[in-house]
């Protein structure tokens, strides 16, 4: 069979033919301007994604009404002044060979700055699950105004050159709020039953169809299941999906959950299997006769091809995978699947950076993402002799980027294997994709010309003798050892010894440190040790349940019987117990036959003084600068290479 024949086959929707079944779904970027117009950075970001040749690109949420934007950089389409920028966006997509769709959006009650000013709208005056503030209940005049806004915005999209419009009816935004009994408790014709709650969506679809005409495709993105206690189910949704098709929808984009759903299912973390949501797309296909797009942690083109081939969906959305590797479709076409940089579903740059930090989009394993306008291209110039100390995420990223830019790169790694902290971070449940990524990064750096010398630390003698032009210090961190009585007893070990298998699990294990290292060690030990207790000095967990992985980690530890104790410190370790202390009391915990220290790292910077003494230019990156996440390590490693 021809390679990926299902994924790369064309499909026709009304008068629009897509060259293949690969879809880039709408993903927020924060790259829009604060006046809602399209920026050069957004155009560059879209151009880079289009280069791999997807069949359809659906641009990010675009507000159909001034009350509908959820962030101050959300694109607008509620006025003619937005058309020129949107036309440039559509033209950019077309230049890459894809068809262009735009997602029409109203946030309803899920907009903090409208909520705080009393301007947010909702089907009922029920507080947002995220912000805890109630919107204004929409009057019939409000409903008519928003329905009209969707229609005229769709007409603007067509005028701007888009081929398809997508109506956003998912993820807890306004249309989804009307569908859900959790947010819609109206007793008029827009509430009380699933059919009535769907009326608003039907009216929006009809108005959009009236404005774009009969030859123009309409997509509807739905959360096929709300995935929250008391929310609507798949079976509920299947009763109204045919009504949406009857009103004029040509594509169902079958997503899942809301931003209030636990576990971050809308941007599923690594705990979810690739394609985990495809069965819901198949359920939709069973009740309608229009194309259905499957959504849910797709990163492998071969697997997407299988999903389409067996009839579960007609198209597949690759969201975060296009951030991790905007060239992955071309690599798949050319039989170079081993070169694909696979998304690790960490959500650090694409979700957490946007939602919790209010910054622009990034990817933790692809520093180019969100920086397309400044990402340096190789130049014909005198290469520098660049030495890199450390072959963890920061060092290998620096090696990959510096060699890509034409420099002569040598990496010195004191251990016999590469990987740094990723060697251990990849050991807890569901984290093996991290190990696959670090080996991909090693291979790409070597393929680019970098030399990696393992088992060989960078020394003062080597530096003084060879005098490289620049050194990137990515030596990672030193394990912290807290000053606790008994810390040197033979049954005390550290997290890295447990994860590496150097030390076998005990029966009754106490872990000192409730940060990510400690929590993931506990996760690793659940099922291996009969009793696991984590103690943390901070009053609450440093691992936020608001993050997808954090939520899943807390849930697994709770279900696995792990005990988490916060606001307490260990003051003494004995051969079979530990002394715990709070502000009010001291107590003994026993029996304890193993103590695992997981209190984190301090920067390893012994090379800094040597380099300063020798007057060799250097940059500290990753944990060698300050222990943090993967995204900081890769960003700093890349930037050190770009700044050479």
Please list the active-site residues: 173
Check: CB of residue 541 under 8 Å from CB of residue 553.
no
Neighbour tally for 187: CB within 10 Å: 9
DSSP calls for 51-97? TT--SEEEEEEEESSGGG-SSTT-EE-SSGGGHHHHHHHHHHHHHTT
C-alpha–C-alpha distance, residues 359 and 72, integer Å: 12
Neighbour tally for 561: CB within 10 Å: 11
User: Which of 384, 426, 431, 427 minimizes the C-alpha distance to 409?
Assistant: 384
Q: How far is CA 193 from the centre of its chain?
A: 35
C-alpha–C-alpha distance, residues 144 and 204, integer Å: 9
Neighbour tally for 615: CB within 10 Å: 7
C-alpha–C-alpha distance, residues 397 and 556, integer Å: 32
Say which residues have a Cβ less than 8 Å from residue 609's Cβ, sequence separation at least 6.
Answer: none
User: Which of 348, 339, 456, 449 minimizes the C-alpha distance to 393?
Assistant: 348
Cis bond upstream, residue 533 (ω within 30): no
How far from 506 is each of 145, 258, 511, CA to CA, in Å? 65, 41, 11
For residue 382, give the DSSP letter: P
Q: How far apart are the first and last CA of the chain?
A: 47
C-alpha–C-alpha distance, residues 410 and 420, integer Å: 17
C-alpha–C-alpha distance, residues 49 and 93, integer Å: 9
C-alpha–C-alpha distance, residues 52 and 42, integer Å: 17
How many Cα atoms within 13 Å fall on the side-chain side of residue 452?
26
């Amino acid at each position: 069979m021809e390679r990926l024949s299902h994924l790369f086959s064309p499909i026709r929707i009304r008068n629009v033919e897509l060259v293949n079944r690969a879809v880039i779904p709408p993903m927020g970027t924060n790259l829009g301007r604060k006046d809602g117009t399209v920026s050069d950075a957004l155009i560059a970001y879209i151009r880079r994604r289009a280069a791999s040749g997807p069949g359809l690109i659906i641009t990010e949420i675009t507000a159909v009404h001034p009350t509908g934007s959820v962030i101050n950089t959300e694109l607008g389409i509620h006025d003619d002044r937005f058309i020129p920028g949107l036309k440039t966006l559509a033209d950019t997509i077309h230049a890459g060979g894809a068809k262009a769709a735009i997602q029409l959006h109203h946030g309803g009650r899920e907009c903090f700055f409208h909520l705080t000013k009393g301007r947010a709208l909702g089907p009922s005056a029920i507080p947002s699950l995220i912000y805890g503030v109630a919107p204004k209940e929409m009057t019939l005049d409000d409903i008519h105004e928003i329905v009209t806004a969707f229609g005229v915005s769709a007409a603007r999209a067509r005028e701007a050159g888009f081929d398809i419009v997508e109506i956003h009816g998912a993820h807890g935004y306004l249309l989804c709020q009307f569908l859900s009994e959790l947010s819609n408790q109206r007793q008029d014709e827009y509430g009380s039953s699933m059919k009535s709650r769907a009326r608003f969506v039907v009216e929006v679809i009809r108005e959009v169809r009236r404005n774009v005409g009969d030859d123009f495709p309409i997509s509807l993105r739905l959360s096929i299941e709300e995935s929250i206690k008391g929310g609507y189910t798949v079976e509920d949704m299947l009763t109204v999906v045919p009504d949406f098709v009857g009103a004029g929808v040509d594509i169902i984009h079958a997503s899942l959950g809301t931003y209030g759903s636990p576990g971050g299912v809308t941007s599923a973390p690594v705990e979810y299997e690739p394609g985990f949501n495809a069965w819901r797309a198949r359920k939709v296909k069973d009740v309608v006769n229009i194309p259905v797009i499957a959504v849910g942690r797709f990163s492998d083109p071969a697997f997407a091809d299988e999903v389409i081939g067996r009839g579960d969906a007609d198209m597949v959305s690759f969201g975060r995978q296009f951030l991790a590797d905007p060239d992955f479709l071309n690599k798949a076409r050319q039989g170079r699947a081993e070169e694909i940089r696979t998304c690790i579903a960490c959500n650090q740059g694409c979700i957490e950076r946007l939602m919790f930090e209010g910054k622009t989009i990034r990817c933790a394993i692809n520093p180019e993402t969100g920086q397309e306008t400044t990402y340096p291209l190789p130049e014909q110039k005198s290469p520098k002799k660049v030495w890199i100390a450390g072959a963890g995420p920061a060092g290998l990223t620096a090696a990959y980027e510096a060699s890509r830019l034409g420099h002569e790169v040598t990496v010195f790694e004191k251990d016999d294997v590469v990987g740094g902290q990723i060697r251990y971070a990849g050991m807890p449940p569901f984290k093996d994709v991290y190990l696959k990524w670090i080996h991909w990064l090693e291979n790409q750096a070597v393929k680019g010309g970098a030399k990696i010398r393992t088992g060989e630390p960078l020394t003062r003698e080597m530096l003084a003798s060879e005098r490289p032009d620049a050194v990137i210090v990515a030596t990672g961190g030193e394990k912290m050892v807290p000053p606790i009585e008994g810390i040197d007893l033979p049954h005390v070990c550290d997290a890295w010894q447990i994860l590496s298998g150097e030390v076998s699990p005990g029966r009754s294990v106490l872990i000192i440190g409730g940060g990510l290292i400690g929590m993931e060690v506990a996760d690793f030990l659940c099922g291996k040790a009969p009793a696991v207790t984590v103690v943390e000095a901070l009053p609450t967990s440093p691992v936020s349940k608001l993050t997808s992985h954090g939520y899943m980690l807390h849930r697994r530890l709770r279900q696995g019987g792990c005990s988490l104790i916060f606001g307490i410190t260990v003051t003494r370790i004995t051969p079979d117990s530990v002394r715990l202390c709070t502000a009010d009391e001291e107590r003994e915990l026993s029996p304890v036959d193993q103590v695992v220290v997981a209190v984190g790292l301090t920067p390893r910077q012994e090379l800094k003084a040597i380099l300063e003494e020798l007057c060799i230019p250097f940059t500290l990156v990753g944990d060698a600068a300050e222990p943090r996440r993967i995204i900081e390590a890769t960003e700093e490693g890349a930037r050190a290479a770009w700044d050479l």
